[in-house]
Each structure stands twice: as structure tokens, then as C-alpha cells.
Amino acid sequence: MNPVAGKTKTEDRCSQLRCIGCGAIADHADQDFRCRNCRDLFEIIYPGWSGAAGAKASRVDGASLKQMWLKRKSSLLPSDTSGVWRFREMLPGLKPGTDPITLREGNTPLYDLPGCARAAGVNALLAKHQGMNPTASFKDTGMTVAASFARQEGFRWVACASTGNTSASMAAYAARGGLRSLVLIPEGKISWGKLSQSLDYGAVTCQLRTDFDGCVKVLSEVVKRMPVYLLNSVNPYRLEGQKTAAIELLEQLGWETPDHIIVPGGNLGNSSALGKALREMKDLGLSARLPKLSVIQAEGANPFVRSIREHGGKTLTPVEAETFATAIRIGNPASWKKALRVVDATAGTVEQVSEVEIALAKAEIGADGVGCEPASAVTLAGLKKLVKQGFVKAGETIVLILTGHGLKDPEFTLKFHRGDLFQGTKHENDAQLLAPHQLAPIVLDASVDAVLRTLEQFDHPAAER
């Protein structure tokens, strides 16, 4: 491993790093991406945009940007076919002549979920499916930007701690960009699908005998000692890429702002990123108003919900996280202060949902023919609660952000349908309500009659689901 300068730099003149704690402005971030003065996180700002006058005076003009972004859809250039770099005026710039590392991320569909809308008691429901990215999670939209900056800065190694999706994504982008990658994951606590992705893409994959938060701790020491580029979401370049999902969403909605956007919360990078884009779009006149952005956590991994409910968002006490939605099994979320700002600024809220509520919501999303991984399903489970509380009204425009693909965690789905997901757990009794949604595979002799008898059994009104 060749040492390189242990710093990362914003090369372009349009963006700067600003500490969210003390407001310090920096050209360089140390490898841990924390402010030297106060240890808080950085965000990327674009000084030329500030204020309405600034926006007008800068190169950024709302109407022509929208036109240009649309026009790029007919281009064949990699940076235009990427659903992230297509919006590059909203991103920190790479050095002239530098190609981004791209797998044509973004460009994800917006689906309607009629069955889920009925289940939640709303007139209509939309889902932006970020699981339809190249490595099947929303992480790709951030990784294309941050990995490109890692390569531009001359790093040979990139690294992350992960519950499985960041690592899959990082490993893929590192491989595409000719970089080596180091993955730290909690042993036995991520899905096989995600683990197999990181192996396939050639990452050095370490399963540590700890949880996600323990992996983060170890990695934060590793980056101090070796010239590896940190690709967790404390890296503000990741969040810049991830924010483009909100831009793409508004474009898909004809630049009409929805009333609600509902996001799963783990390390809280994604809610921070989407909220940043929503605020920037409003400041730049690309959108007329802010939607309410609400964050949903699993009951067993709910430090953000507790921070807001118990401490008014003033402090966050880490929890020992436990949930079958392993992607969001996180007790000490790095970006909680950024996410709090978003919830406050958009007048959103937070909610928590039980394991059984998550499993039911995942089945309901699947029954609409869309499918997602368990962590994504917290959005529908949370929406149901927000509707009951009156926070979301039946006639409002609501968008769920589905963060991961259904095939990310097939073990969860199989156990669900076989009826043994909650066997021997404290949720066993509550889980009985899931029975009507379970459809286990049926083992039969290879006989036509056996198949026809099965078909007849199901082709009966009583069996209609």
C-alpha cells in the first residue's frame, strides 16, 4: 500500500466543506471526515448558490437546469446515462477531464402501490425503488460520487463498515474504478446475499465478532493508521450522490412536490441526503415547497426516535440494536444531527415499528409485485401509524423510499412464508396475524394430478388473498 497524503480535498471552486457543528470551512478533510475543531461532521456547501440573489447570479438557473437534465436522457455519454451525474450541476465537480466511476446508477422507477395504499388507508401511494440500482440498493447513488473522489485523490484503498449494502456497493465501485476495498461487517448479522456481493466484487471482507457499531469503531482507528479512504456515510461526498434520488423523484413527479416522503432510518445518512436535496431545490427555485420528510426506525434499533421523544433531539443515547431488518441494525447513528435538521426543517416526524409490523409490510409490498428488503418495509409499516395518528391524510401525495431489493435477503422471505421467522422469539404470538399472508412452497410428487389438485385448492374464492 503506497502512502498518499492522508487528506482529501475539494478540488473544484464551487463547493466547500463546512462543519455542521462549529461552522468551520475547510478545503481538506482528514481521513475520518470529522472537523478538527469540534469533531462533528462536514457537509458540502456551494457558496455560489446562497440566497435567492446568489442563485440567480450563479450558473444555476432552475428552468434551464430542468431542461438540460431532461435533454441528457437522450445522450449516450456515461455521465449522462448515470442517473446521478445527469444532475452534476448539483454535485461537487471532479477535475476537468476526469471520468466518474459509474455503473449507470440512479434512474430508478417510481411505482404505485395500490394494495399497500388500501392497507395503509390512503387513496394512493408511491414508492421510489432505490433497490433497482446496479448493486440493488440506494448506496450506489452515493458510491459513484465518493468512489470517484477517492480515485481522484490518489487513494489505492477504500474501506467501510457496513450492515451489508454499503459494502456490496463499495466493493463494486472499487472494482470498476481499479481500487482495492476493505469491508468490515458484523459476523453472522448480515444477509448472505450482501456478503456474497462483496466477495464477488473482490473486496477484502472481514467479518468482525461485533455489531455494526463495533465495526465503525475499529475502522475509525484503521483509517488513522493507513491511507485508506473512508466510504461510510460520514463521507459527505456519499451524501451528495444520494441526494440525487430526491431530485430524480421531483423530476418524475413533474416537479410537483409530494406532501410526504417516508424514509427508513439506520445510520441516518440517507434521510440527511434526501433532505439536503429538498432544501437545495427549494432554495434554487427548482421546487415550490418542502415535503414533510419522516424517518422510520425498527423498535429494536430506535436511537433516533428515542432521542427526539425523550430528549427533544438534544442528545442521542446509543442503544444495543436488535432487529431482523439487519440493514438498519444500528445503535449509534453517525448522521443523527443532520437527520434531525431535516425532520425539523421539513416539519416531518419520526416513528418506530415492530418486527411483526415490518414483516407484514414487506409481504404487502411484495403482494403489489414490487418487493423490497425488510429495512425498506419499515416505511409502509410507519406510514400506517402516521395515518392512524392523523399526521398523514388519506388524500395526500405520499412517497415511500424503498432502499433495497427484495433479493437482498431471501432468507427472511423464505422463513416468513414457511412460518418460522418468529418461531421461538418473543414475537411468536403477535406473528399469528401474518398467517393469511404466508404462502409456503409446496413439495409434490412429479404428477400432473397432484399439481391440478393443488391448483383446484387455490382456485377457490375462499383461497383468494
Contact residues: ligand F0G, CB under 6 A: 137, 162-166, 233, 264-271, 327-328, 373, 375-376, 403-404
Sign of CA dihedral 30, 31, 34, 39: negative
HSE (CB half, 13 Å, CA atoms) of 290?
20
Q: Which is nearer to ligand F0G, 65 or 316 (CB)?
A: 316
Q: How far apart (Å, rounded) are the C-alpha atoms in residues 396 and 69?
A: 28
Q: Which is nearer to ligand F0G, 17 or 234 (CB)?
A: 234
Q: Which is nearer to ligand F0G, 8 or 271 (CB)?
A: 271
Q: How far apart (Å, rounded) are the C-alpha atoms in residues 122 and 130?
A: 22
Q: Which is nearer to ligand F0G, 270 or 307 (CB)?
A: 270
Sign of CA dihedral 458, 459, 460, 465: positive
Residue type, position 447, single letter: S
Residue type, position 325, single letter: A
Q: What residue ranges in 348-439 does DSSP mark as E strands? A: 350-353, 398-402
Q: Which is nearer to ligand F0G, 108 or 152 (CB)?
A: 108
Shortest reach from residue 355's CB to ligand F0G, in Å: 16
Query: Helix count (H) and strand count (E) of the chain?
Result: 17, 15
- Number of other CB atoms surrounding residue 386 within 10 Å: 22
Shortest reach from residue 447's CB to ligand F0G, in Å: 41
HSE (CB half, 13 Å, CA atoms) of 75?
15
Shortest reach from residue 110's CB to ligand F0G, in Å: 18
Helix (H, G, I), strand (E, B) or coil at 208: strand
Shortest reach from residue 200's CB to ligand F0G, in Å: 16
Q: Which is nearer to ligand F0G, 257 or 267 (CB)?
A: 267
Q: Which is nearer to ligand F0G, 14 or 249 (CB)?
A: 249
Contacts with 445 (C-beta within 8 Å, 6 or more apart), sequence order:
none
Shortest reach from residue 20's CB to ligand F0G, in Å: 16
Shortest reach from residue 232's CB to ligand F0G, in Å: 8
Q: Which is nearer to ligand F0G, 55 or 145 (CB)?
A: 145
Shortest reach from residue 57's CB to ligand F0G, in Å: 34
Q: How far apart (Å, rounded) are the C-alpha atoms in residues 94 and 11?
A: 7
- Number of other CB atoms surrounding residue 80 within 10 Å: 18
Residue type, position 33, single letter: F
Q: Which is nearer to ligand F0G, 14 or 234 (CB)?
A: 234
Q: How far apart (Å, rounded) are the C-alpha atoms in residues 317 and 319?
A: 6
Buried b (16+ CB within 10 A) or exposed e, 241-270: bbbbbbbbbbbebeeebbebbbbbbbbbbb
Nearest of 290, 312, 341, 347 to residue 18 by alpha carbon: 341
Shortest reach from residue 381's CB to ligand F0G, in Å: 13
Q: How far apart (Å, rounded) are the C-alpha atoms in residues 34 and 446?
A: 62
Q: Which is nearer to ligand F0G, 89 or 291 (CB)?
A: 291
Shortest reach from residue 125's CB to ligand F0G, in Å: 18
Q: How far apart (Å, rounded) are the C-alpha atoms in residues 165 and 325?
A: 12
- On whether the CB atoms of residues 179 and 156 are closer than 8 A, the answer is yes
Shortest reach from residue 168's CB to ligand F0G, in Å: 8
Q: Which is nearer to ligand F0G, 148 or 169 (CB)?
A: 169
Shortest reach from residue 176's CB to ligand F0G, in Å: 18
Q: How far apart (Å, rounded) are the C-alpha atoms in residues 330 and 215?
A: 11
Contacts with 424 (C-beta within 8 Å, 6 or more apart), sequence order:
none
